Structure 1
Amino acid sequence: MKDDEPFLLDDPGKLKALAHPMRRLMLRHLNVHGPATSTTLGELLGAKTGTTSYHLRQLEKYGFVEEIPERSTGRERWWRKAESPRDLRLPTPGQLAPEDRPVLAEFHRIGMEEDRELFERFPEAYLRDPEWATGSRGLGRMTKAEFKEFMEAYIALLMKYSPRPEDASPGARPMYVRLFAMPADED
């Protein structure tokens, strides 16, 4: 599979691995800042090394992180985000067995907590440098087919401007980009 092809994250074990707040913070750090040790991650997250080691092993089990053998020595193990599909998509509840649907709900709940935190940081980021922080809100009128087309176009645009770190242009910064959409006539 090419890394820009959609990949459906319908494995309940993988979803569960990603539905843990500390694991998500660890992945975010590795994605934004690059390789780290469990000790470094523990210091950053206020957790014991044993706890971060356990969570790193869980992420490794499902292919989200990998050890860097050439950089690891003795008890110090270095970790990086593993190569993975860039267009990772979540299943709909109907694509999961009923007993696995709570994991999807937890994944969304934790994601929304992260997004709320980013949303609260936005005004300060905008005041600090409006060329690097911007937002958009709108109201569209779409059929389901048009909405699907819109989302595919959005993902294609995001993929176009989101190369892997090693392929990024000089001066490129990691950017948080969020989009959520839902019907406006249900409130």
Structure 2
Amino acid sequence: MVAPREISDVDELRTLAHPLRQRILRHLAQHGPATASILGKALGESSGATSYHLRMLAKHAFVEEVPERAHGRERWWRAPVQDLRSPRAPEDPEMRALVEQLNQLKLAADQELFAGFLARRAELGEWADALPYSRGSIRVTLAELHEFFDEYMALLKRYQRPVEEAPADARLVAARFFAFPVPDPGAPQPDDRT
């Protein structure tokens, strides 16, 4: 099981909070190892741009080379299975802004991914209705919410594996955890205090 890695360095967060780098990471996670040229074609970018961003991601171990696939100067990259976690309550304003930017990028990508699923659902055969969905609320303390999240992550990790280790009939399935405190409408707001 992969241990959680909290991203607590501003430079690491800055690296992750870049739109093209997020697209590169998503492509590698979905399609497996690729070269800068393959990524450039798939993402509509130049291979020079994808090569640069791959090196920036590699600097912080967000991607790694696949030496057994290299031929001459051609470099192959993969996104290792990782449990990357943003700081829970960054006090530094820049860190907080970067975490918010990264969350916005991820949420926008999730919405686009789900819209793509809905648009092509009819093409998915037996997978078309593989849409487990649950909405619920829990009344917990902050410590219990952290524990709940850790238990969710442990369950998710049980099923994570690199694309090259997946059975032939396996599909990539997006699983998302989204929890937030419901504001109490009767509670005084910070600017309502006298």
Tell me if both proteins adopt one fold, taking TM over 0.5 as the criterion: yes
Match of 1:79, SS state, is strand
The structure-2 alpha-carbon separation of the partners of 1:80 and 1:162, relative to structure 1 and needing over 3 Å to count, comes to closer
Match of 1:157, SS state, is helix
The structure-2 alpha-carbon separation of the partners of 1:151 and 1:50, relative to structure 1 and needing over 3 Å to count, comes to same
Q: Structure 2 regions of 5+ residues with no counterpart?
A: 186-194
Are the equivalent residues in 2 in contact too, given 1:122–1:133 (CA < 8 A)?
Answer: no
Q: Percent identity?
A: 43
The structure-2 alpha-carbon separation of the partners of 1:137 and 1:25, relative to structure 1 and needing over 3 Å to count, comes to same
- 2:66 aligned partner: 68
Q: Give 2:115's match in structure 1, choosing from 115, 120, 135.
A: 120
- 1:90 aligned partner: 86
Deviation of 1:9 after TM superposition, in Å, equals 1.3
The structure-2 alpha-carbon separation of the partners of 1:133 and 1:126, relative to structure 1 and needing over 3 Å to count, comes to farther
Q: Structure 1 regions of 5+ residues with no counterpart?
A: none
Larger Rg over CA atoms: 2
- 1:38 aligned partner: 36
Are the equivalent residues in 1 in contact too, given 2:32–2:164 (CA < 8 A)?
Answer: no
Post-superposition CA distance 1:14-66 (Å, at most 9, x none): 21111111111111111221111111111111111111111111111111222
Which residue identity is paired with 1:53? S
Q: Which TM-score applies when normalising by structure 2?
A: 0.79
Structure 1 segments (4+ residues) deviating >6 Å: none
Deviation of 1:91 after TM superposition, in Å, equals 0.3
Deviation of 1:125 after TM superposition, in Å, equals 5.8
Structure 1 range deviating more: 166-175 or 45-54: 166-175
